[in-house]
Chain A
């Protein structure tokens, strides 16, 4: 199919991960933080699939399926928490939710 240096793929995965990390650090809205976490998980999965393609082994794709499952579970819990926090604080500001007790 394609012939590329595996380092280029790793660079792209690292850049995608760091974009997600920067997004999670700079945004204050919960929805964006969760989206940034999705970008980071996707970049990690990309690195796995790339490694699997490099060594022609199916393990990379297996790991991606697990990451996908984990992301689905994480998003459902995270979005339920976001709705709960929005009903309680009437805001999506992550700074307002630092007193989570009670």
Chain B
């Protein structure tokens, strides 16, 4: 089972690298789904089966479908791939990549050098999660509800198109 963890992590990292380096938005989205599924597998192996299910249902299901809809609405075709190639050409990506590689190397070096703490994962049942969620963290749950309400109102407000009424006398007048 330990090998499964490392294989899933390698898949997640490889898929994430593909997400940030693809030029076609759709293939990036599909790689993102692979990355999320492998992270869900890691969660399952860590004993968080409920969180793994949530990851698949909400992240890979709902949020990615939202992305797919928007990419379809934007009608990104061949010219957007050309545009991406144009943007990536100048070598502007080298600087941030090197800096992030340095940071990643440093983090891995420090963590590899420190004393290892073996953890034996054990299933934490969803009942305990629910009890914690609606016990000590109930205020945070209400705040999350408030955040979602704000999200709905904001998305509605931003998505609303201004109606243009072409009146016979007031051409192009807005109401």
Q: Which residues of A contact B (CB under 8 A)?
A: 1-12, 14-16, 18-23, 25-29, 31-32, 34-36, 38-39, 42, 46, 49-50, 52-54, 56-62, 64-66, 68-77, 79-84, 86, 92
- Bound complex: CA A77 to CA B4 (Å): 36
Total B residues in contact with A, Cβ cutoff 8 Å: 83
Q: A5-B117, A10-B111, A52-B48 are in contact. Are A39 and B93 (CB under 8 A)?
A: no
- Bound complex: CA A22 to CA B117 (Å): 29
Which residues does chain A contribute within 8 Å of B104, judged by CB atoms? 14-15, 18
Query: Which residue of the partner chain, among A28, A62, A76, contacts B66 with CB atoms under 8 Å?
Result: A76
Which residues does chain B contribute within 8 Å of A25, judged by CB atoms? 96, 100
- Bound complex: CA A32 to CA B24 (Å): 10
CB distance from B20 to the nearest CB of A (A): 3
Cβ-defined contact, B111 with A7, below 8 A: yes
CB distance from B60 to the nearest CB of A (A): 11
21 A-B pairs whose Cβ atoms sit less than 8 Å apart in the complex: A2-B5, A3-B120, A5-B116, A7-B116, A14-B107, A16-B39, A18-B100, A22-B97, A25-B96, A27-B20, A28-B87, A32-B19, A34-B67, A49-B51, A62-B132, A62-B133, A62-B140, A72-B62, A75-B63, A81-B158, A83-B158
Q: How many contacting A-B pairs (Cβ < 8 A)?
A: 235
Q: Which residues of B contact A (CB under 8 A)?
A: 1-2, 4-6, 9, 12-13, 16-17, 19-20, 25, 28-29, 32, 35-36, 39, 42-43, 45-48, 50-51, 54-55, 58-59, 62-63, 66-67, 70-71, 73-74, 76, 80, 84, 87-88, 92-93, 96-97, 100-101, 103-104, 107-108, 111-112, 114, 116-124, 128-129, 131-133, 137, 140, 144, 147-148, 150-152, 154-155, 158-159
- Bound complex: CA A8 to CA B87 (Å): 35
Cβ-defined contact, B28 with A32, below 8 A: yes
Mostly helix, strand, loop or mixed at chain B's interface?
helix
Cβ-defined contact, B111 with A38, below 8 A: no
Beyond A35-B20, A65-B54, 11 extra complex contacts between A and B, CB < 8 Å: A1-B123, A2-B120, A5-B117, A15-B13, A18-B101, A23-B16, A36-B20, A49-B51, A54-B117, A77-B155, A84-B158
